């Protein structure tokens, strides 16, 4: 029997997946870029954030970490985690209790970074990434997969696709992700299918499909 | 004043002395991590905060609790009979036990519902009864009945799990009654009155003060957590709107919002948190509401005075648990007493709740007392007066020291096929020493409650 799920919870699970995935992928890119800024390319951070349509200015590698994570821009990770936390609270009955606790912990951790006087260092990124791994691990541990989990996974995949479009655009990778997205959609509504004819408007097409998938 | 220590208390202190007190901080860590919150609005801002928790439990012996249990079963049975009678035949009024004026003026009385009888004639499904233990005679006294939307059960439920993890010694070495069956009691009660369909818990939403409790209980009782617009009424039947547009019939609603907001078509048209048409579906017998609409009349502070009389009238029994001595200025004799003894009485505005509208005569100035006397004379039905109960303090471990605080006890009484009393409850303590107000909205905290035997 299909799982009972309100549109609000379905949507919150989807957005929780997107925000957490965005935080994770951004942290990983920040980590790589930090290394590059040290002694390879000082402007690597500016180039990275251009892909997010953000103009980022910094003086050195450590300052890059600080500006990237808690700068006054749309990619501020502490703010993204506020959104993730909100979605987790709304859908908490469908989230593994430990995973929920780790989401709150990650939120509090990123909030605390902005209140600390010492500069953000690479260890903070490692800690945040460890917490995200724990969230995915504990939530994925459940034996029986529920429909709500598919919305979470769908959110992760859509975010991953968005990243791929910004960074690589390798068509085989894109095709694999779209195939996975379609598999999720099929489970959630067997009568629906994502058809992407035009690569340029791919995200637009996906959003329209998800709007049809979750009936408000 | 503390209750005389018993062997049960001694056993607790013996184990407590051996525990690592640094670990007490872990309770707060847990509550923050799992967002065990009680939310507040202050100066227009939404504040999420965890409820203060004290590690020293209230200990009640099994023998003592069984007596409380019987008293509560008796009281809630009578209250349910009263509600059913009042909204159908109103014999208790016709027989002169309760003046109709009292009923009519009670804020929660809804004359539009006269003649309607809900599923299985149960109206008082989930009840929170507030008690204190009087230090003068060692007896438990009922302070208040909450038959509308009593909250708080999730806090002791969730903290007990944590307690077992942080300090397992107590549970290994003491005979503490387990409390995990509470969600099952609620589910059984819901299933009993369910008219056919799924169970849901209706919440005002994310920004309600008790949203944590709503989501916690929904998960534990296996009901879908819904907001108003996630339900729809079609042909006098209530449906759950699934994410894919399918509509699934609802048979029972554990509602966590007040009557006034539950249906904008019937009550407050401004309500954005109600389900349009819900009352019509309810009156057609197509859905059960827990608790019933119109229960407010039974937990009105003025009607409280009559509960011992209800027990005698409906059950032909003497009340096992007593009310606090209460006076109704509405009656001339009581008015005289209140006017002449106001300095030692507690005056309560019947329209208020959550510790608001409670005035202690002993802490008022002469001018304030004169003002209050005039207000009471002008509107005697609006107030009740009670003797100040010197209830026991509980020991609390606050800021690394043992201190005494006034504490009450909210017992949860569930009516389904049977009347069951949860063998735990919410022990609430006052923020400051000597303060009699223990409500969470007044800054009070909570403790676990252990029903124990030797």
Candidates B448, B442, B411; CA nearest to B141 is B411
Determine contact, residues B232/B250, Cβ cutoff 8 Å: no
> CB distance B35–A9 less than 8 Å?
no
pLDDT by residue for chain B (454 residues), tens digit each? 999 999 999 999 999 999 999 999 999 888 888 888 887 777 778 888 888 999 999 999 999 999 999 999 999 999 999 999 999 999 999 999 999 988 988 889 999 999 999 999 999 999 999 999 999 999 999 999 999 999 999 999 999 999 999 999 999 999 999 999 999 999 999 999 999 999 999 999 988 989 999 999 999 999 999 999 999 999 999 999 999 999 999 999 999 999 999 999 999 999 999 999 999 999 999 999 999 999 999 989 889 999 999 999 999 999 999 999 999 998 999 999 999 999 999 999 987 776 678 899 999 999 999 999 999 999 998 899 999 999 999 999 999 999 999 999 999 999 999 999 999 999 999 988 988 888 766 778 999 999 999 8
Q: Tell me, what CATH number does B236's domain have?
A: 3.40.50.11290
Determine contact, residues B145/B75, Cβ cutoff 8 Å: yes
Say yes or no: B206 contacts chain A, CB-CB below 8 A: yes
Candidates A192, A166, A161, A188; CA nearest to A177 is A161
CA A96 to mean position of chain CA atoms: 18
d(CA B147, CA B140): 19
pLDDT computed for residue B168 by the predictor: 96
Candidates B305, B308, B312; CA nearest to B327 is B305
Q: Read off the pLDDT of residues B158-197 as tens digits, 9 standing for 90 and up.
A: 999 999 999 999 999 999 999 999 999 999 999 999 999 9
pLDDT computed for residue A100 by the predictor: 94
d(CA B445, CA A170): 57
Give the closest of B32, B206, B219 to A93, CB-based: B219
pLDDT computed for residue A144 by the predictor: 59
> CB distance A6–B227 less than 8 Å?
yes
Domain match, B336 and B276 both: no
Q: Residue B180, Cβ neighbours under 10 Å: how many?
A: 11
Which sign does the torsion angle of CA B11, B13, B14, B15 carry?
Answer: positive
Please report which confidence band the pLDDT of residue A139 belongs to, taking 50, 70 and 90 as the band edges: confident
ipTM here: 0.87
Domain match, B297 and B419 both: yes
Please report which confidence band the pLDDT of residue A27 belongs to, taking 50, 70 and 90 as the band edges: very high
Say yes or no: A53 contacts chain B, CB-CB below 8 A: no
Domain match, B297 and B262 both: no
Domain match, B354 and B224 both: no
In a domain, B314, yes or no: yes
Please report which confidence band the pLDDT of residue A201 belongs to, taking 50, 70 and 90 as the band edges: confident
> CB distance A93–B35 less than 8 Å?
no
Say yes or no: B226 contacts chain A, CB-CB below 8 A: yes
Tell me the DSSP string of chain A.
Answer: -PPP--HHHHHHHHHHHHHHHHHHHHHHHHHHHHHHHHHT-TTHHHHHHHTTT-----SSHHHHHHHHHHSSSTT-HHHHHHHHHHHHHHTGGGS-HHHHHHHHHHHHHHHHHHH-SSPP-HHHHHHHHHHHHHHHHHHHT-SSPPHHHHHHHHHHHHHHHHHHHHHT--HHHHHHHHHHHHHHHHHH-TT-------GGGHHHHHHHHHHHHS--
Compare all CA atoms of chain B with the CA of A216 and give the residue at the minimum distance.
Answer: B243
> Left if phi > 0, otherwise alpha if psi is -120 to 50, otherwise beta: which for A182?
alpha
Strands B419-421 and B393-398: unpaired
pLDDT computed for residue B434 by the predictor: 85
Q: Residue B235, Cβ neighbours under 10 Å: how many?
A: 10
Last residue of a domain, one of B347, B366, B387: B387
Domain match, B406 and B331 both: no
Domain match, B104 and B165 both: yes
Residue B248: give the domain boundaries.
196-286
Which residue, among A11, A87, A91, A93, would best test binding to B if mutated, counting the most B CBs under 10 Å from its CB?
A: A93
Query: Structural domain tally of chain B?
Result: 3
Angle, CA B145 vertex, CA B141 and CA B149 arms, to 5°: 145
Determine contact, residues B291/B197, Cβ cutoff 8 Å: no
Say yes or no: B233 contacts chain A, CB-CB below 8 A: no
d(CA A164, CA B176): 56
Domain match, B157 and B303 both: yes
Domain match, B308 and B396 both: yes
In a domain, B146, yes or no: yes
Distance from the Cα of B88 to chain A's closest Cα (Å) equals: 37
> CB distance A6–B242 less than 8 Å?
yes
Candidates B147, B87, B164, B145; CA nearest to B118 is B87
Is A142's pLDDT higher than 70? no
Domain match, B190 and B200 both: no
d(CA B407, CA B446): 9
Tell me the DSSP string of B246-271.
Answer: -EEEEEEEEE-S-HHHH-TTTS-TT-
Determine contact, residues B231/B278, Cβ cutoff 8 Å: yes
Question: Strand ranges (DSSP E) for B38-157?
Answer: 40-42, 45-47, 53-61, 126-133, 140-146
Say yes or no: A183 contacts chain B, CB-CB below 8 A: no
CB contacts < 8 A, A to B, total 63
> CB distance B240–A189 less than 8 Å?
no
Say yes or no: A5 contacts chain B, CB-CB below 8 A: yes
The set of residues, in sequence order, having a beta carbon less than 8 Å from that of B138 and lying 6+ positions away, is B3
Domain match, B37 and B147 both: yes
Distance from the Cα of A212 to chain B's closest Cα (Å) equals: 9
Domain match, B356 and B377 both: yes
Domain match, B40 and B178 both: yes
pLDDT computed for residue B71 by the predictor: 98
pLDDT computed for residue B265 by the predictor: 96
d(CA A74, CA B52): 36
Strands B231-234 and B237-241: antiparallel
In a domain, B426, yes or no: yes
Which residue, among B239, B243, B245, would best test binding to A if mutated, counting the most A CBs under 10 Å from its CB?
A: B243
In a domain, B359, yes or no: yes
In a domain, B23, yes or no: yes
Cis-peptide, bond into residue B291, ω within 30° of zero: yes
Average of per-residue pLDDT across A133-154: 84
Say yes or no: A35 contacts chain B, CB-CB below 8 A: no
Determine contact, residues B55/B27, Cβ cutoff 8 Å: yes
Q: Read off the pLDDT of residues B39-52 as tens digits, 9 standing for 90 and up.
A: 777 777 888 888 89
């Amino acid at each position: 029997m299909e799982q009972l799920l309100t549109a609000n919870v379905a949507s919150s699970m989807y957005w929780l997946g997107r925000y957490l995935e965005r935080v994770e992928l951004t942290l990983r890119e920040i980590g790589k870029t930090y290394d590059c800024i040290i002694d390879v390319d000082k402007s690597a951070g500016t180039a990275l954030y251009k892909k997010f349509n953000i103009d980022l200015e910094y003086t050195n590698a450590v300052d890059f970490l600080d500006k990237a994570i808690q700068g006054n821009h749309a990619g501020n990770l502490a703010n993204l985690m506020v959104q993730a936390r909100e979605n987790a609270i709304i859908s908490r009955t469908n989230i593994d209790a430990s995973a929920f606790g780790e989401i709150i912990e990650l939120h509090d951790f990123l909030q605390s970074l902005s209140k600390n006087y010492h500069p953000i260092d690479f260890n903070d990124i490692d800690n945040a990434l460890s917490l995200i791994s724990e969230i995915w691990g504990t939530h994925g541990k459940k034996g029986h997969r529920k429909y709500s989990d598919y919305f979470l996974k769908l959110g992760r995949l859509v975010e991953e696709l968005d990243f791929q479009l910004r960074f690589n655009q390798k068509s085989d990778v894109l095709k694999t992700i779209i195939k996975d997205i379609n598999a999720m959609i099929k489970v959630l509504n067997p009568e629906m299918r994502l058809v992407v004819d035009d690569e340029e408007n791919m995200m637009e097409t996906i959003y329209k499909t998800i709007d049809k998938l979750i009936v408000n | 004043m503390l209750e005389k220590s018993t062997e049960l208390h001694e056993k607790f202190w013996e184990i407590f002395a051996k525990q690592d007190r640094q670990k007490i901080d872990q309770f707060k860590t847990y509550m923050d991590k799992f967002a065990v919150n009680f939310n507040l609005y202050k100066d227009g801002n939404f504040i999420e905060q965890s409820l203060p928790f004290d590690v020293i439990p209230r200990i009640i012996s099994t023998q003592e609790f069984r007596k409380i249990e019987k008293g509560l079963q008796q009281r809630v049975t009578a209250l349910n009979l009263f509600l059913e009678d009042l909204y159908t035949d109103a014999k208790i009024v016709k027989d002169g036990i309760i003046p109709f004026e009292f009923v009519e003026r009670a804020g929660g009385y809804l004359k539009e519902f006269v003649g309607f009888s809900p599923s299985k004639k149960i109206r008082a499904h989930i009840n929170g009864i507030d008690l204190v233990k009087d230090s003068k005679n060692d007896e438990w006294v009922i302070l208040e009945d909450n038959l509308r939307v009593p909250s708080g059960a999730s806090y002791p439920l969730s903290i007990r799990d944590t307690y077992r993890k942080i300090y397992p010694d107590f549970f290994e070495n003491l005979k503490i009654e387990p409390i995990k069956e509470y969600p099952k009691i609620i589910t059984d009660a819901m299933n009993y009155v369910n008219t056919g369909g799924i169970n849901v818990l209706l919440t005002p939403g994310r920004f309600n003060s008790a949203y944590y409790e709503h989501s916690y209980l929904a998960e534990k009782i296996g009901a879908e957590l819904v907001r108003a617009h996630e339900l729809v009424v079609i042909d006098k039947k209530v449906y759950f709107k699934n994410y894919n547009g399918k509509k699934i019939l609802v048979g029972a609603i554990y509602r966590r919002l007040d009557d006034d907001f539950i249906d904008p078509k019937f009550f407050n048209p401004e309500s954005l948190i109600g389900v349009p048409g819900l009352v019509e579906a309810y009156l057609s017998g197509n859905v059960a509401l827990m608790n019933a609409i119109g229960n407010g009349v039974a937990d009105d502070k003025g009607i409280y005075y009559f509960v011992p009389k209800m027990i005698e009238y409906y059950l032909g029994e003497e009340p096992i648990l007593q009310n606090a001595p209460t006076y109704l200025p509405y009656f001339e004799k009581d008015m005289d007493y209140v006017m002449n003894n106001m300095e030692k009485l507690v005056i309560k505005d019947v329209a208020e709740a959550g510790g608001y509208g409670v005035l202690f005569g002993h802490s008022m100035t002469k001018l304030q007392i004169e003002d209050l006397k005039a207000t009471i004379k002008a509107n005697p039905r609006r107030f009740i007066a009670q003797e100040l109960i010197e209830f026991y303090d509980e020991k609390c471990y606050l800021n690394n020291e043992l201190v005494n605080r006034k504490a009450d006890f909210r017992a949860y009484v569930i009516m389904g096929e049977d009347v069951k009393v949860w063998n735990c409850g919410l022990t609430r303590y006052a923020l400051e020493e000597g303060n009699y107000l223990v409500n969470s909205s007044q800054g009070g905290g909570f403790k676990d409650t252990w029903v124990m035997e030797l």
